[in-house]
């Protein structure tokens, strides 16, 4: 029987490197995502007096409709991709949530370190993919011809590469993100939310910069900033969190220029990997996926997991939620359900 122990943050973090962990369950990330309505929780999953996995996430305060929820940005960190252990972890977390009166359990898969799909009873899989540039595989990084042409185009324009953690650069990135959003919505014909993670906003980005996990990389061309990327970095791991670029940047290959210099920087300084992110399975975005292949990334398939509502009276919505999973993502019922949960 697996048990759950809530652990003080310093003690929990001390042994984290013994496990294959996501950047999104680390204390610097979660401390930045905490706010008045949710607090971080750090958990060891224990079997036969041995810690077999670690996870950390947010517990939200109760809400009349949603109830109290337990949200993890990624699955438990394991010592190896063991299906049986992963399923036991999911079962233990569900029991923990029910015992604590938590209405719903959600496990994301951001920067997830395995491709396991839980088969635990009561969970619904949420498939995703990400692309990872591995610096420790011993294999050369292959940039596509188009990617290299874009880098050359940016260099010809006199573009230079920089980084900082300043408020001025953050404000510039937020403005550029609005431009990127508009361009993507025009190109793909669907709404796009650049703040795609719970509690990700300007305030939490500032906290990431303040605690040292966040860093911004940007271009200068003729003294102007046209492209900014916000990455999170921790213990040799990197995730490309956000990016904002204007029309000039896209026309002159600046995003490729940034990624090229990032990859060279991380490779030369002994980083483990660079994860430029991914997306949900089956929602298009072929151009974005093609770009991540072009910069040398390898596709990793993964999945998060969610439960239905676990508590009364919230569980009266479960039949509707089950019906919604069988409908297309652009269905109005599905959109309504997403607004609820």
Q: What is the DSSP string of 272-330?
A: SEEEEEEEETTS--HHHHHHHHHTT-EEEEEEEEE----STTGGGGHHHHHHHHTS-TT
Q: Residue 279's pLDDT is what?
A: 82
Please state, in angstroms and as integers, the Cα–Cα distance from residue 291 to each residue in 238, 276, 302, following that order: 18, 10, 19
Say if CB 33 and CB 40 are below 8 A apart: yes
Burial 103-116 (b: 16+ CB within 10 A, else e): bbbbbbbbbbbbeb
Total residue count of the chain as it appears in this document: 341
Closest CA to 27 of 203, 207, 198, 275: 207
Q: Is 63 helix (H, G, I), strand (E, B) or coil?
A: coil
In this predicted structure, what is the pLDDT of residue 332? Answer: 58
Task: Please tell me the number of Cα atoms within 13 Å of 290 on its side-chain side.
Answer: 7
Question: What's the pLDDT score for residue 244?
Answer: 97
Residue 53 to residue 161: CA distance in whole angstroms: 39
Report whether 52 contacts 46 (CB < 8 A). Answer: yes
The residues, any chain, with a CB within 8 Å of residue 106's CB and separated by 6 or more, are 69, 70, 71, 72, 304, 306, 307
| DSSP H/E element including 185 | helix 167-188
Can you give the pLDDT at residue 323? 73
Q: For the chain, where are the E strands, in sequence order?
A: 3-6, 38-47, 50-60, 69-72, 77-78, 104-107, 124-134, 160-164, 214-220, 227-234, 237-245, 273-280, 298-306
What was the pLDDT predicted at 77? Answer: 98
Dist. CA 174–CA 197, nearest whole Å: 16
Question: What does the pLDDT profile of the chain (341 residues) look like in tens digits?
Answer: 899 999 999 999 999 999 999 999 999 999 999 999 999 999 999 999 999 999 999 999 876 677 899 999 999 999 999 999 999 999 999 999 999 999 999 999 999 999 999 999 999 999 999 999 999 988 899 999 999 999 999 999 999 999 999 999 999 999 999 999 988 888 777 777 889 999 999 999 999 999 999 999 999 999 999 999 999 999 999 999 999 999 999 999 999 999 999 999 999 999 999 999 988 765 556 788 899 999 999 999 999 999 998 988 888 877 877 776 776 655 555 555 555 55
Cα–chain-centroid distance for residue 237?
13
Predicted TM-score (pTM) of the model is 0.93
Beta bridge partners of 303: 127
Task: Give the angle 213-217-222 at the CA atoms, nearest 5°.
Answer: 155
CB 238 within 8 A of CB 232: yes
Nearest residue to 72 (alpha-carbon basis) of 100, 101, 37, 33: 33
Residue 216 tokens, joined: 């911004």
The angle at the Cα of 54, spanning 45 to 103, to the nearest 5 degrees, equals 70
**Which residue has 């204007």 as its token pair?**
246
| Whole-number Å distance between alpha carbons of 181 and 176 | 9
How far apart are the C-alpha atoms of 87 and 89, rounded to whole Å?
A: 5
State phi, psi for 15 to the nearest 5 degrees: -100, 10
Token couple for 27? 């204390």
CA distance 140 to 165: 31
């Amino acid at each position: 029987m697996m048990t759950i122990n809530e652990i003080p943050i310093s003690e929990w973090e001390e042994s984290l490197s013994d496990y294959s962990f996501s950047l999104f369950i680390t204390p610097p990330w979660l401390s930045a995502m905490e706010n008045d309505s949710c607090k971080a929780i750090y958990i060891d999953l224990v079997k036969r007096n041995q810690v077999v996995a670690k996870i950390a996430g947010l517990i939200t305060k109760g809400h009349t409709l949603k109830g109290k929820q337990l949200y993890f940005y990624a699955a438990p960190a394991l010592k190896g991709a063991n299906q049986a252990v992963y399923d036991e972890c999911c079962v233990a977390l569900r029991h923990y949530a029910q015992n604590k009166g938590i209405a719903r359990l959600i496990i994301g898969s951001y920067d997830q370190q395995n491709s396991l799909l839980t088969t635990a009873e009561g969970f619904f899989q949420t498939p995703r993919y990400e692309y990872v540039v591995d610096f420790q595989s011993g294999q050369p990084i292959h940039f596509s011809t188009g990617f290299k042409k874009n880098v050359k185009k940016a260099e010809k324009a006199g573009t230079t590469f920089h980084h900082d953690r300043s408020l001025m650069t953050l404000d510039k990135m937020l403005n550029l993100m609005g431009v990127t959003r508009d361009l993507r919505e025009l190109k793909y014909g669907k709404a796009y939310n650049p703040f795609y993670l719970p509690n990700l906003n300007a305030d939490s980005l500032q906290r990431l910069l303040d605690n040292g996990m966040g860093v911004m990389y940007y271009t200068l061309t003729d003294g102007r900033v046209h492209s900014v990327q916000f990455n999170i970095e921790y213990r040799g791991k990197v995730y490309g969190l956000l990016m904002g670029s204007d029309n000039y940047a896209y026309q002159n290959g600046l995003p490729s220029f940034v990624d090229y210099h990032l990859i060279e920087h991380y490779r030369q300084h002994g980083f483990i990997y660079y994860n430029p992110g991914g997306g949900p399975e089956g929602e298009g975005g072929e151009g974005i996926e093609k770009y991540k292949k072009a910069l040398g990334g390898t596709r990793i398939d993964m999945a998060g997991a969610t439960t239905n509502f676990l508590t009364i009276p919230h569980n009266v919505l479960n039949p509707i939620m089950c019906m919604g999973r069988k409908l297309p993502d652009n269905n109005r019922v599905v959109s309504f359900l997403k607004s609820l949960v």
